[in-house]
Structure 1
Amino acid sequence: MTVYGIPNCNTVKKSFDWLKANHIDFEFHDFKKKGITAEKLNTWCNIFGWETVLNRKGLTWKKLTKEEQAKIDNQNSAIAYLIKNTSAIKRPILEKNGSAILIGFDDDKYQQTLA
C-alpha cells in the first residue's frame, strides 16, 4: 500500500491513523519532496476523473485568479497545473499493488475497500 500526499495535511493524517489502527502497512510518498509524474496523474485522472484529482477546496486553488482557474478546464491543463502545484492534488490517494483504489478520506469507504 502506498499513500500519496503531504505530511501536514489533516486528511492524510486521518488516513495514517486509520491504516495504523487497522494494522495495514503502508509507504508514504510525499508530493512535496518526491514530486509526481504526468503519467501517474493521468492514471489517477483516468480512474477518478481530473475534476476529482484537482482539489478546488484548498488554499492553493483559491489563491488563483478567476481567470487562472478558468484556464484549467480539461485533463491536460489540470495535469500541467498539478505537476507545478502538488498541493492542489486531492489527498490522500491510496494505491494497492500499483493501482489507485481510494482518493480522499472516508471512514466507510476505507472500511469497505480495505478491511
Structure 2
Amino acid sequence: MILYGIPTCDTCKKALKALQAAGKEVTFRDVRAQPLTTAEIEAITHEFGDRAVNKQSTTYRAFNDFLKASDIEAQIAAQPTVLKRPIIQNGTTWHLGWDAATEAALTA
C-alpha cells in the first residue's frame, strides 16, 4: 500500500497512523521530496480526473492563469502539493481522501 501525500498534512498523518495501527504495511510517499513520475501522474489522473486537484487550496489559488488553464497533469507536475490528500494506492484499488468509508475499507 502506498500513501501519497506530504508529511505536514494532518489528514495524511491521521490516515498513516490508522493504517499502521490496523497492521497494514504502508509506504509513505512524500510527493514534495520525491516528485511523481509521469506514469504516476497519469495513473492518478486516469483514476480521479480533475478531482485529484484541490482547487480550494492556497497552492491552486496561487497558480497563474496559464497554469490554471493547463491540464491536470501539468498542474500536478508543476506543483505536486496541489493534490488532494491523501491518495492511497492499495494494489489496483485507489482511494482519494480520508473519510469513514475509506478508513473502513482499508483498515478492515
In the alignment, structure 1 residue 80 sits paired with structure 2 residue 74: yes
Partner of 2:95: helix, strand, or coil? strand
Shift, 1:39, TM fit: 1.5
Q: Compute the TM-score of the two structures, normalised by the length of structure 2.
A: 0.87
Shift, 1:107, TM fit: 2.1
Number of the residue aligned with 1:111 = 104
When structure 1 is superposed on structure 2, of 103-112 and 24-33 the one drifting more is: 103-112
- Match 2:69 to one of 62, 68, 71: 71
- What letter is aligned with 2:42? N
Shift, 1:100, TM fit: 4.4
Number of the residue aligned with 1:89 = 83
In the alignment, structure 1 residue 39 sits paired with structure 2 residue 32: no
Number of the residue aligned with 1:57 = 56
Deviations 1:40-90 (A, max 9, x none): 1111111122x111111211012235x346513xxxx21112112011011
Q: Is the 8 A contact 1:58 1:88 kept in 2?
A: yes
Q: Is the 8 A contact 1:42 1:79 kept in 2?
A: yes
* Overall identity of the aligned pairs, in %: 24
Q: How many residues matched?
A: 108
Shift, 1:104, TM fit: 0.9
Unaligned runs of 5+ in 2: none
Aligned structure 1 segments of 4 or more residues deviating by more than 4 angstroms: none
Q: Compute the TM-score of the two structures, normalised by the length of structure 1.
A: 0.82
Between the aligned partners of 2:93 and 2:31, the Cα distance in structure 1 is 15
Cα RMSD over matched residues? 1.7
